[in-house]
Amino acid sequence: MATAQKPIPSIIHDLFHNYVPETVDVERDTEWIILTVLTSGDWEQIKWAYNAYGKDRLEAVVRKDLEGLRTLPHPVANFWSVVFWGRQLPPFSAKEWWGTIRRMPSGRGNGDVNDLFG
């Protein structure tokens, strides 16, 4: 097991209880750490992330998540959208609410599950 060059501080160890904290690297794992802290962190942990990475980096990670895989839960993403940009996210459409956001590339069709099996 490799030790991180810059391991995370003890203040956020409890957010990574499923991992060996000494292997999580502050620089290498920046986006994962930020998303985890913004999703599950308490006020002190969020302040640590703000001081460690800065507002612009936190905002960039949230924006990338919203424009990409959307791993942040909608209520969390909505909260940070209000904090960073002063506006709520639009509500999910029925398709977004009941469907999957991530699609497996199938090489045919629009990525619907039926494309995979038939």
Q: Using 50, 70 and 90 to split pLDDT, how confident is the model at 113?
A: very low
pTM of the model: 0.77
pLDDT of the residue at 118: 42
Closest CA to 60 of 33, 31, 87, 40: 31
24 C-beta neighbours (distance < 10 Å), count: 20
**Residue 4 burial (CB < 10 Å; 0-12/13-18/19+)?**
middle
Helices 74-85 and 55-67 meet at what angle, rounded to 10? 130
pLDDT value of residue 44: 97
How confident is the model over 43-53, as a mean pLDDT? 97
Mention every residue, 6+ apart, whose C-beta is less than 8 A from residue 112: none
Beta-bridged to residue 7, according to DSSP, are 25
Q: Could you report the per-residue pLDDT of 58-108, keeping only the tens digit for each?
A: 999 999 999 888 899 989 999 999 999 999 998 877 766 666 555 545 455
Structure-block tokens of residue 45: 């942990």
Res. 110 pLDDT band, cuts 50 70 90? low
